[in-house]
Amino acid sequence: MPYINLRIAGELSREQKQKIVAEFTDTMVRIACKPAEYVVVAIDEKPEEDWGWGGKLLDEL
């Protein structure tokens, strides 16, 4: 069972999440020959203030 975990800074709309899940699933079906019903996609949204880059918080950049 493929498990894909996407971590992203900020928030996505429900429509964006649906498209991402569909595209990731399609990729696993086409390339890895996995059945779509076995593909699990988890999206973790984190506020930009929870990410650091180059010594600063992402929301400061």
- pLDDT (0 to 100) of residue 56: 95
CATH of domain 3-49: 3.30.429.10
- pLDDT (0 to 100) of residue 31: 98
- pLDDT (0 to 100) of residue 13: 98
Whole-model pTM: value is 0.86
Domain spans of the chain? 3-49
C-alpha closest to that of 42 among 1, 2, 9, 3: 3
For 1-57, what is each residue's pLDDT tens digit?
999 999 999 999 999 999 999 999 999 999 999 999 999 999 999 999 999 999 999
